[in-house]
Structure 1
Amino acid sequence: MSRLSPRARRAVRLGAPALLAVVAALAVVIAAGRIDRLGPVDVTALHADRWWGDVDDAVGDALAGDQEVRVVRVVDGDTLLVRTDDGRERVRVLGIDTPETRKEGTPVQCFGPEATRSARRWVDEQRSRVTLARDDAAPDRDGFGRLLRYVRPTRGGRDLSTVQVSGGYARVAAYGQDLEELGALRRAERAARRADRGRWGAC
């Protein structure tokens, strides 16, 4: 047999991986044919763990995902009534606390009405369509059954927590939770305090 030229040897060397891949593919096809001849195989049992893992991941992603809703009413500066696919829900805005205006047995607090009006203006600017976003550091609901969510605009811009804190309508309130937006909200609060904005200059 004649010797291969250097160019031919290089072609064989480069083509060897592709040839091996073709052989491997043929082996899989042949093995599959043999499995068919052996009878039905319980594929569900073979891949049950992987299948259920995919289902769990999909459910988790759905729960963790943002949800676009319509605001039915602004209850006060940090609480909204919204309509979801499942009905109406009260939402407690994450990361902030505004002065009370509607708490039973508690008088209207300084700058509470202004905080409510600020929240209403922001919702009106969004044409009542907002996006609710969870924070892994916070529970799904508070002790009153309200959803705990960041309330964000659907078309970009500042979220309601930032607007309320920056304007001096709310104080930062994390209740011991390491919230994702905690650092940014604290910086906004410090700026509002230094400028005596809102409640920091009026109360």
Structure 2
Amino acid sequence: MMKLSARNAAAGLVAVLVVAAIVSFAGLASSPHDVDPVPTTVPTGAERAEVVRVIDGDTITVRLEGAGEGAQVVRLVGVDTPETVDPNRPVGCFGADASTFTHTELDGHTVYLEVDQVQGDTDKYGRLLRYVWIPGTDAAAPAELFNATLLEDGYGVAYRGDQDRKQAFDALEREAKDSRRGLWSACPAA
């Protein structure tokens, strides 16, 4: 009787392993952390622009190439940095840091703007909604998706609305939070 139980246990274990392997190979056992990585090349069709002013950590003013002298306000898609310019709200914890970082990285630089297919072209304030790409310095250097950099370095939180890169941006926020980078170490309520 003892041998029968051991045999049944071994058969059960083999069955569990076979089912686990099938599920794994079928892609049904993917982890919630398995997300598409953030690309490292400027997408085809992105618009070239010069950053003429940084308003705060997640809002800039640009001059689109070929659009004359007019400037457009751009709200970075997928990231929300603490407030610094809203007259109805106090400056948020780490807001000045996020704003300074964006100034340092983008002021006067050439960037490429990518439309988010889910968010649409503009928000309710008429600002362009865009991913902001910093081109690589040469063919071997990867481009940087600045929206993702803000999240990765803890300068903001992932925007809670839908967007093309929501899963990747949520993962970057989670990683920054777990590593206590940026606002995740500086702000008590973060």
Number of aligned residue pairs: 136
User: Does 1:168 pair with 2:154?
Assistant: yes
Aligned position for 2:116: 135
1:152 corresponds to which of 133, 144, 163 = 133
2:164 corresponds to which of 180, 190, 203 = 180
Aligned position for 1:51: none
Do the aligned residues in 1 keep the contact of 2:134 with 2:143 (CA within 8 Å)? yes
Identity fraction in percent? 37
User: Does 1:65 pair with 2:45?
Assistant: yes
Paired with 2:144 and 2:99, the residues of 1 have a C-alpha distance of 17
Do the aligned residues in 2 keep the contact of 1:77 with 1:116 (CA within 8 Å)? yes
> Relative contact order (C-alpha < 8 Å, sep 6+): which is higher?
2
- Which protein shows a greater Rg? 1
Relative to structure 1, the CA distance from residue 114 to residue 78 in structure 2 (aligned partners, 3 Å threshold; closer, same or farther) is: same
TM-score between the two structures when normalised by the length of structure 2: 0.68
Q: What letter corresponds to residue 131 of structure 1 in structure 2?
A: Y
Aligned position for 2:105: 122
Q: What letter corresponds to residue 101 of structure 2 in structure 1?
A: S
Aligned position for 1:83: 63
Q: What letter corresponds to residue 80 of structure 2 in structure 1?
A: D
Do the aligned residues in 1 keep the contact of 2:135 with 2:144 (CA within 8 Å)? no
Q: What letter corresponds to residue 79 of structure 1 in structure 2?
A: T
- What's the secondary structure of 1:200's corresponding residue? helix
Q: What letter corresponds to residue 195 of structure 1 in structure 2?
A: S
Which structure is higher in helix share? 1
Do the aligned residues in 2 keep the contact of 1:165 with 1:172 (CA within 8 Å)? yes
Aligned position for 1:198: 182
Q: Where in structure 1 are there 5+ consecutive unaligned residues? A: 1-63
- Report the RMSD for the aligned CA atoms in angstroms: 1.5
Q: What letter corresponds to residue 150 of structure 1 in structure 2?
A: Y
What is the Cα deviation at residue 121 of structure 1?
Answer: 2.1
Runs of 4+ in structure 1 off by over 6 angstroms are none
- What's the secondary structure of 2:121's corresponding residue? coil
- What's the secondary structure of 1:180's corresponding residue? coil
- What's the secondary structure of 1:164's corresponding residue? helix
Q: Where in structure 2 are there 5+ consecutive unaligned residues? A: 1-43, 137-141
